[in-house]
Amino acid sequence: MPTFSVTGDVDPFLHVSLAQGEKIYCESDAMVMMEAALELKGKVTGGIGAALMRRFANGESFFQQHIEAVRGAGDCLLSPKLPGAMQVLDVGQRQYLLSDGAFVAASDGVDLKVRTQNLGNALFAQSGGFFITETAGSGQVAVSGFGSISQLEVTPGRDVVIDNSHVVCWDSTLRYEISVATSTSGGFLSNLVNSQTSGEGMVLRFSGQGKILVCSRNRAAFLQWTKGPAQ
């Protein structure tokens, strides 16, 4: 199986080592360097329908880069679109849901599936609209966050509330719902006013048992800035 590791302290690279015949796929334009034994192709992963779903769900490019060790073992360096930390996750016994722009790369045994969200999360969350990306299969997947990344553990009876724009990914076993404020009292209108006056914005409330990765800076603000002013 390809070996993923994060190298560097500031805006690190993802270093991938592949044995002959092994392959990975990554977000478009992620490849920075690869050895001559490797071959890179742009492909529509999973067919046109799946590519369109991932495009709407997770802001990914329609075409992804596929890197394969066709002439012997080789290494490559990848770079994420977000300036900041990366983390490598083992997928298999645990699966994860990914926020917009978090995906960097995955080994060939990992699939990115698209599933629907409930109406409330779809309308208010910045995590894919009506669709959200979930990992499947087994292997490794690399995700990135804006700024540094920290891991949180959610346990039964101790719900966690996180600003929506700081969530990178979370364990698929966790339950989550969108809210306009951290307060559990008051009606929708008063919570909406409190959300605006406190600068809180939308938050996600997680419950159950599982892991969440959060980033230190506001992903949504950065992604909006990279798109430039509205035309």
**3-class secondary structure for 125-146?**
CCCCCCEEEEEEECEEEEEECC
Domain of 179, CATH number, reads 3.60.160.10
Q: How confident is the model at residue 15 (pLDDT cuts 50, 70, 90)?
A: very high
Cβ atoms of 143 and 169 closer than 8 Å: yes
| 228 in any annotated domain | no
What is the residue range of 63's domain? 3-220
pLDDT in tens, 113-144: 877 665 444 444 444 444 678 899 999 999 99
Q: How many residues does the chain have?
A: 231
230 located within any domain: no
**For 28-42, 86-100, 207-221, which range has the lowest pLDDT when averaged over its residues?**
207-221
Say if 171 falls within a structural domain.
yes
Residue 106's DSSP bridge partners are: 25, 141
Is residue 161 a part of any domain in this protein? yes
- Please report whether residue 225 resides in a domain: no
The predicted-structure confidence for 30-81, as pLDDT tens digits, reads as follows: 999 999 999 999 876 655 655 566 555 555 555 789 999 999 999 999 999 8
Residue with tokens 């939308």: 202
Is position 96 within any domain?
Answer: yes
Percent of the chain residues topping a pLDDT of 90: 52
Q: Is residue 77 situated within a structural domain?
A: yes
> Residue 228 corresponds to which tokens in the numbers above?
């430039």
Instruction: Give a yes or no: residue 27 inside a domain.
Output: yes
Residues 202, 208, 213, 218, Cα dihedral to 10°: 10
Question: How many structural domains is the chain composed of?
Answer: 1
